[in-house]
Amino acid sequence: MLGGRHSARYLSETDGAVIWLWRSHNRANQHLRGDITEDPAYPKVQFPVAESCPGCHHGSSWNETAVLQYLLEYYGAANVIDDDIDVLAETGMKRDSSSASYNRHCAWLLLVIVQLLVQWLVVCV
């Protein structure tokens, strides 16, 4: 998945991992579209759809600058639901008052999620 003409960007640019995950997600959706396992309530479409981000679409290609901005806003801190208290309780971790400890817990949780996503993508693609 890191092959091809864009692989240097994924490894060298700051936001390369975001674009890599986005491209991988869309590649997986394209592969699974129309599959018997597809949930009709959640069709496998290319993300983001034009209605959500008209500037992301440039004819039949993507405006990656606009896509990156959209993803950073869509998944940004202002849109994150702070429900990690349940996750911390399930894992036996205690939330202390220090922001450094809280940030470590959040970073750990994010790392686990990214690892699971990458494993899922490897299996699907």
Q: What is the pLDDT of residues 61-108, one digit of tens each?
A: 999 999 999 998 888 877 776 665 555 556 555 555 455 555 566 666
- Is the same domain home to 18 and 46? yes
pLDDT greater at residue 109 or residue 93: 109
- 55 contacts 73 by C-beta, under 8 angstroms: no
pLDDT (0 to 100) of residue 97: 47
Reply yes or no: is the peptide bond before residue 48 cis, omega within 30 of 0.
yes
- Is the same domain home to 71 and 94? no
Domain count, the chain: 2
pLDDT (0 to 100) of residue 123: 64
Spell out the residues 6+ positions from residue 11 whose beta carbon is closer than 8 angstroms to its own: 2
pTM for the structure as a whole: 0.58
- Is the same domain home to 53 and 10? yes
Over the stretch 20-50, which tens digit does the pLDDT of each residue have?
Answer: 889 889 999 999 999 998 898 989 999 999 9
- Is the same domain home to 30 and 64? yes
Dihedral class, residue 19 (left if φ above 0, else alpha if ψ from -120 to 50, else beta) = alpha
Cα–Cα distance measured from residue 43 to residue 12, given in angstroms and rounded to the nearest whole number: 33
Radius of gyration of the chain (CA): 17
- Is the same domain home to 64 and 86? no
Q: Which helix (H) or strand (E) holds 84?
A: helix 84-91
- Is the same domain home to 74 and 98? no
- Is the same domain home to 68 and 90? no
112 pLDDT higher than 80: no
- Is the same domain home to 15 and 73? yes
- Is the same domain home to 67 and 86? no
Nearest CA to 12 among 23, 22, 2?
2
Task: Please give the structure tokens belonging to residue 122.
Answer: 């490897």
* Residue indicated by tokens 């993508």: 121
- Domain range enclosing 113: 82-125
Over the stretch 4-24, which tens digit does the pLDDT of each residue have?
Answer: 555 666 666 778 888 888 988
- Is the same domain home to 75 and 118? no
At 19, which CATH number?
A: 1.20.120.310
